[in-house]
Structure 1
């Protein structure tokens, strides 16, 4: 029976392609399901033989640890270079959007705190 190895929700294309490549390289039989038309399912990568699942999960853990280390290193480098995205950089780039989001947050907090008090009065 097939087992889901990776749900493709929010998985970048390059990561999915790297996973497909190492599955082929390790000769693990797999197939993919495509996302649904209405966005209910985002597709997935499935192992055909569930006896290979422990090996595939170990390989996946190693892959994800390496990818996380690479992403952390890139983020640290961006901070050192001053290219990391911050609140101030977002405010300079898109001031109306940032102010709009802040106003929406304040409105939601006020409604959340005041509505129960107003309804119980």
Structure 2
């Protein structure tokens, strides 16, 4: 019976590639399903051999801890260099998008609060 090892929803391409390489390096058989056209299913990496499940889970846990450490270090380095993304930076880079999101949030708040404001 096949086992889902990694759901690919919101998984960056480089991480998925590294997981595939890790499985191939350790000779664990797997296959991949593609995301659906309508976004209902996001795809995944599946193990074909039930015996590989525990070993693959342990490898994936170690990999994820190492990746988290690397990403944290990269973020801290970007903060030290002043290249980490900030709200002010996003506002400078994408002013129309930020303004649009602000308007959408305002409209949602208005629609939500309007019935309570008109009660009295």
Pick the TM interval, shorter chain.
0.7 to 0.9
Q: Which residue of 2 aligns with 1:65?
A: 65
Alignment of 1:26 with 2:42, yes or no, is: no
Aligned residue pairs total 120
Structure 1 position 119, deviation (Å): 7.5
Change (3 A) 1:119 1:4: farther
Q: Which residue of 2 aligns with 1:44?
A: 44
Residue 45 of structure 1 aligns to a residue in which SS? strand
Q: Which residue of 2 aligns with 1:105?
A: 105
Residue 31 of structure 1 aligns to a residue in which SS? strand
Residue 5 of structure 1 aligns to a residue in which SS? strand
Structure 1 position 62, deviation (Å): 0.6
Q: Which residue of 1 aligns with 2:75?
A: 75
Provide the aligned C-alpha RMSD in A: 1.8
Question: Can you give the 5+ residue segments of structure 1 that lack an aligned partner in the other structure?
Answer: none
Q: After superposition, what is the alpha-carbon deviation per residue over 1:55-108, rounded to whole angstroms, capped at 9, x for unaligned?
A: 111110110111111111111111111111111111222223212212221221
TM norm structure 1: 0.86
Change (3 A) 1:35 1:94: closer
Question: Can you give the 5+ residue segments of structure 2 that lack an aligned partner in the other structure?
Answer: none
Residue 85 of structure 2 aligns to a residue in which SS? coil
Higher mean C-alpha deviation, range 39-48 or range 76-85: 39-48
Structure 1 position 19, deviation (Å): 0.9
Structure 1 position 6, deviation (Å): 0.7
Structure 1 position 110, deviation (Å): 2.5
